[in-house]
A and B are shown apart, each in its own frame.
Chain A
Amino acid sequence: MSQIKKRIVIDAVSKIFQTPQGNVPAITDINLKIPNGEFFSIVGPSGCGKTTLLRILAGLETASSGTISINSRDDTRPLSSVVFQEQSIFPWMNVIDNVAYGLKMRGISKKQRYETATYYIRMIGLEKFMKAYPCQLSGGMKQRVSVARAFANDSEILLMDEPFGALDEQNRIILQQELLEIWDRTKKTTVFITHSIDEALCVSDRIMIMTAHPGTIKAIIDIDLPRPRDIAKIRTTLRYNELFQLIWQSLREEVLKGKEQDIRGIQHFS
Chain B
Amino acid sequence: MKIQMNNLTILRIMSILSPLTLLLLWELLARMNAIDIRLFSSPYFIMKAFLPLLLSGELLYHTAISVQRILLGFAVGAIPGIVIGIAMGLSPWVRSSLEPMINATYPIPKLALMPLILLIFGLGETSKIFTIAIGVFYLVVINTLTGVLNIDKIYLDVAKSFGANRRNFYLTVALPGALPMIFAGLKLGMGMALILIVAAELSAAQAGIGWMIWRAYDMFDIERMFVALIMLSVLGYIFSLILDWLERLALPWKQ
Q: Which residues of A contact B (CB under 8 A)?
A: 58-60, 78, 80-82, 84, 86-88, 90-94, 101-102, 104-106, 133-135, 153
Contact = CB atoms under 8 A, between A and B. Distances in A.
A104 B172 CA distance: 10
Interface string B160-177: 111111001000110011
A-side interface mostly: loop
B253 A135 contact: yes
Interface in B204-255: 251-255
5 contacts: A58-B161, A80-B161, A88-B154, A90-B155, A93-B172
A123 to B, nearest CB: 19
B158 A88 contact: yes
B157 interface: yes
Nearest to A132: B253
Contact of A90 (B161, B163, B165, B173): B173
Interface of B: 154-155, 157-165, 168, 172-173, 176-177, 179, 251-255
Contacts of A90: 155, 158, 172-173, 176-177
A92 B253 contact: yes
Given A81-B161, A82-B161, A90-B155, A135 B172 contact: no
Contact of B255 (A60, A78, A94, A135): A135
A59 B161 contact: yes
Given A91-B253, A101-B172, A133-B252, A60 B157 contact: yes
Contacts of A106: 163
Contact of A102 (B163, B165, B176, B253): B163
A53 B12 CA distance: 60
B204 to A, nearest CB: 44
A94 B251 CA distance: 12
B176 A84 contact: no
Nearest to A101: B162
Contacts of A86: 154
A78 B163 contact: yes
B90 to A, nearest CB: 16
A84 B154 contact: yes
Contacts of B158: 82, 84, 88, 90, 101
A92 B160 contact: no
A88 B164 CA distance: 15
B49 to A, nearest CB: 49
Contacts of A82: 157-158, 161
A56 B30 CA distance: 78
A219 B163 CA distance: 33
Nearest to B255: A135
A146 to B, nearest CB: 9
Given A60-B157, A133-B252, A134-B253, A92 B176 contact: yes
Contacts of B165: 105
A-B residue pairs, 3 tightest by C-beta: A92-B176, A133-B253, A102-B162
Nearest to B155: A90
B156 to A, nearest CB: 10
A40 to B, nearest CB: 18
Given A88-B154, A101-B172, A133-B253, 20 more contacts: A60-B160, A78-B163, A82-B161, A84-B154, A87-B154, A90-B158, A90-B176, A92-B176, A92-B177, A92-B179, A92-B251, A92-B253, A93-B176, A94-B253, A101-B162, A104-B172, A105-B159, A105-B163, A134-B253, A153-B162
